Amino acid sequence: MIKPVGSDTLQPLFVYDSDKHDALMHEAESLPSVVISSQAAGNAVMMGAGYFSPLRGFMNVADAMGAAENMTLTDGSFFPVPVMCLVEHTDSIGDAKRIALRDPNVEGNPVLAVMDIEATEAVGDEQMAMMTDKVYRTDDPEHPGVAAFNGQGRIALSGPIQVLNFSYFITDFPDTFRTAVEIRNEIAERGWKKIVAFQTRNPMHLAHEELCHMAMDRLGCDGLVIHMLLGKLKPGDIPAPVRDAAIRKMVELYFPPNSAMVTGYGFDMLYAGPREAVLHAYFRQNMGATHFIIGRDHAGVGDYYGAFDAQSIFEEEVPAGALEIEIFKADHTAWSKKMNKVVMMREAPDHTKEDFILLSGTKVREMLGRGEAPPKEFSRPEVAQILINYYQSLN
Query: Do 18-170 and 177-393 show the same overall fold?
Result: no
Indicate whether 360 pLDDT > 90.
no
Contact 178, 263 (CB under 8 A): yes
Strands 356-357 and 333-336: antiparallel
Using omega within 30 degrees of 0 as the cis cutoff, is the peptide bond preceding 257 cis?
no
Q: What angle do CA 268, 271, 172 make, to 5 degrees?
A: 25
pLDDT average, residue stretch 323-337: 95
pLDDT of residue 390: 93
Claim: this prediction has a pTM higher than 0.85:
yes
Radius of gyration of the chain (CA): 21
Is pLDDT at 91 greater than 80 in this prediction?
yes
pLDDT score recorded for residue 232? 75
Over residues 187-214, mean pLDDT: 95
Contact 348, 359 (CB under 8 A): no
pLDDT of residue 238: 84
Q: Rounded distance, CA 335 to CA 105, Å?
A: 40
Q: Give the per-residue pLDDT at 89.
A: 95
Catalytic residue numbers, as ranges: 201-202
- Residue 209 has phi, psi (to 5 degrees) of -60, -50
| Amino acid identity, position 264 | G
Residue 122: beta bridge partners? 155
Degrees to nearest 5, angle at CA 105 with 117 and 90: 30
Reported confidence tier of residue 26, pLDDT bands at 50, 70, 90: very high
CA-CA distance, 81 to 155, in Å (whole number)? 18
333, β-bridge pairs: 344
Superfamily assignment of 18-170 in CATH? Sulfate adenylyltransferase (3.10.400.10)
DSSP 3-state percent helix, strand, coil across the chain (nearest 5): 35, 20, 45
Mean pLDDT of 348-376: 90
Residue from 252, 356, 370, 231 nearest 387 by CA: 370
Domain 177-393 architecture: 3-Layer(aba) Sandwich (3.40)
> What is residue 361's predicted lDDT score, i.e. its pLDDT?
79
Q: What local confidence, expressed as pLDDT, does residue 56 receive?
A: 98
Quote the crossing angle between the two packed helices 61-70 and 125-136, to the nearest 10°: 30
Least reliable range by pLDDT among 6-20, 101-115, 175-189, 351-365: 351-365
pLDDT tens per residue across span 210-249: 999 999 999 999 999 999 999 877 777 788 889 999 999 9
In the chain, what are the domain boundaries? 18-170, 177-393
**pLDDT category of residue 394 using cuts at 50, 70 and 90:** confident
pLDDT of residue 130: 98
Output the pLDDT for position 365.
Answer: 86
- In one-letter notation, the amino acid at residue 361 is G
Residues in CB range of 232: below 8 A, 6 or more apart: 38, 42, 268, 269
